[in-house]
Amino acid sequence: MGEVAINWKAVLLATLVSFVLGALWYGPVFGKPWMRSLGIDPGVARQAPRIGLRRMLSISFILEWIMAICMAYFIGDKADAMHGALYGLLTGLPWVASAIAVNSLYEQKSVAYIFITGGYWTVVFTLMGLILGAWH
């Protein structure tokens, strides 16, 4: 594999988009159905997070940043926006969302959980690929 020039501004933007989308997706868009699918009472979840909110958000941001870096290496610096989005979709749907679905079946998670979580990661990787492909 040849050398890939990483656009670090694009990686940061892809990370930020992922992070903001997560806040929306698991907040006002699908927050309540997602929590119901896990048997979580939204009121209790806000009062007593297992780890501090700042720590949880920091770790999430770092992991999403690592995902964006890996996606940048995966799609390379020759892809355009369309190909980047396609690579992202093909990463999100058949790999990530399918892996989530397999684990969720054994964990006896609901279909709603599978669609909400798998859908989120499919959209995230598609947007990451689009951003990285468009801005190389």
Q: Is residue 2 part of a domain?
A: no
81 in any annotated domain: yes
Question: What pLDDT tens digit does each residue of the chain (136 aa) get?
Answer: 568 899 999 999 999 999 999 999 999 999 999 999 999 887 776 665 667 888 989 999 999 999 999 999 999 988 999 999 999 999 999 999 999 999 999 999 999 999 999 999 999 999 999 999 999 7
Show the domain range for 83: 8-134
Whether this prediction's pTM lies above 0.85 is answered by yes
- Listed in order, strand segments (DSSP E) in the chain are none
Residue/partner pairs of 23-28 with CB below 8 Å, 24 or more apart: 25/116, 25/120, 25/123, 26/120
d(CA 47, CA 42): 9
Domain count, the chain: 1
Q: Is residue 1 part of a domain?
A: no
Within-domain flag for 52? yes
